[in-house]
Amino acid sequence: MGERKVTVAAEVGLHARPAATFVQRAMKAPMDITVAKASGGKPPVNAKSILGILALDVRQGETVVIKADGEGAEEILDELAEIAGTP
């Protein structure tokens, strides 16, 4: 299983437009992808669910862990990490 730890750089965190872009890209992947706060507290959510991503309440400067398993997972993880880490 591949994994990326990313510090969210956007001022709004992983909300609204960044979350929508993140979910749209995740939905194109054939495998299951999860996202969780690195600090714990809440269980991982489906990266293909906009409600799940918004429920994590990820703010600027917080670190998330993105996990995926399957063919092409590393490429997808790189793309999702770039989206989450873009200011």
Indicate the burial class of 79 (C-beta count within 10 angstroms; 0-12, 13-18, 19 or more): middle
Q: What secondary structure letter does DSSP report for 30?
A: S
Question: Do 60 and 12 form a contact (C-beta atoms < 8 A)?
Answer: yes
Catalytic positions = 15
